[in-house]
Amino acid sequence: MKYPITTFRQLYYACKENKKQIFEIALENEVDKGEYSEYQVRLQAKKSLDAMKEAIEEGLKSVELSPSGMSGNNCNKLQKRYQKAHSLLGKTAEKIMIYALATSEQNLRMGTIVACPTAGSCGIIPSVLISYAEDNKIKEDTEINALITAGEIGRIVSNKMSLAGAVGGCQAECGVASAMAAGALTQMRGGTVKQVIDASALAMKNILGLTCDPVCGLVEIPCVKRNPFLAIHAVTASELAMADIMSKIPPDEIVDAMEQTGQLMSPLLKESSKGGLATTKTALALAKNILK
């Protein structure tokens, strides 16, 4: 690779020394591998962006419940709510939460979604980037650039640790998705490379320890509702970073802490459904009904 980047520190200095943005460095590195041209990389990113938009569109229209019957109509409920009374957070925030639920519920219906970085966290990045782009008339090329930046953030984290909930807990799924969304959003808003990285760091740091405890072993409870929560979490991180509020702990050290936290986390809280919410009385009753 032209720039052998495995850490956020290396990424920052590569951008600084070459006076380039994160997506430009990521593109150059991908092309340097010799497998794809820049056009092909951007085309793949566009396909992912189109799939995200389609998942949102389909999810907004459907009230079909998941096979378990535990979820599938919350997006519709939230849309109806905002038709009557607007959110305290503003219309873009409304859209972000609606889109996050639309995508997550479309995943449960076996619709086409983009795992970013996982299926359980599929609503976070699309909801944040697409909502902001729609409400601010952002060009598609800028959306694609942001998506490439999100991918680069996820790639760097994955160099150190697994992004699977079974290995690192939900901090590695929804948590990393929120960090990816925070950085990409900050770039779309005109933030500096430092602010983009700080936004990602703030999002990661403040979600350490999030367990993966799916009820009935399904990516529904609490997974679906975590998507709108962590999407707004990403926006908060971007807001702070754009004000030059930085994480006192460097992002690479936060990734180390996240990896350590995942190792220390009990296996009962890592996608096994043998602890946490999955073993509450209500959860066990739901599992019993589903088995029937």
Beta bridge partners of 212: 270
Which CATH fold would you assign to the domain 8-291?
2-methylcitrate dehydratase PrpD (1.10.4100)
Instruction: Give the pLDDT score at 1.
Output: 52
Rounded-to-integer distance, Cα 265 and Cα 261, Å = 6
Look at residue 33 and give its three-state secondary structure. Answer: coil
Query: Positive or negative, the Cα torsion across 147, 188, 54, 93?
Result: positive
Q: Which tokens go with 54? A: 């389609």
- The amino acid at residue 27 is L
**Residue 197, Cβ neighbours under 10 Å: how many?**
29
| Segment 225-238 mean pLDDT | 98
Q: Where does the pLDDT of residue 190 fall: very low under 50, low under 70, confident under 90, or very high at 90 and above? A: very high
Q: What is the 3-state secondary structure (H, E, C) of 160-197?
A: HCCCCHHHHCHHHCHHHHHHHHHHHHHHHCCCCHHHHH
Looking at the DSSP bridge assignments, the partners of residue 270 are 212
pLDDT digits (tens, 9 = 90+) for 50-94: 999 999 999 999 999 999 999 999 999 999 999 999 999 999 999
| Amino acid type, 261 | T
What mean pLDDT is reported for the chain?
A: 96
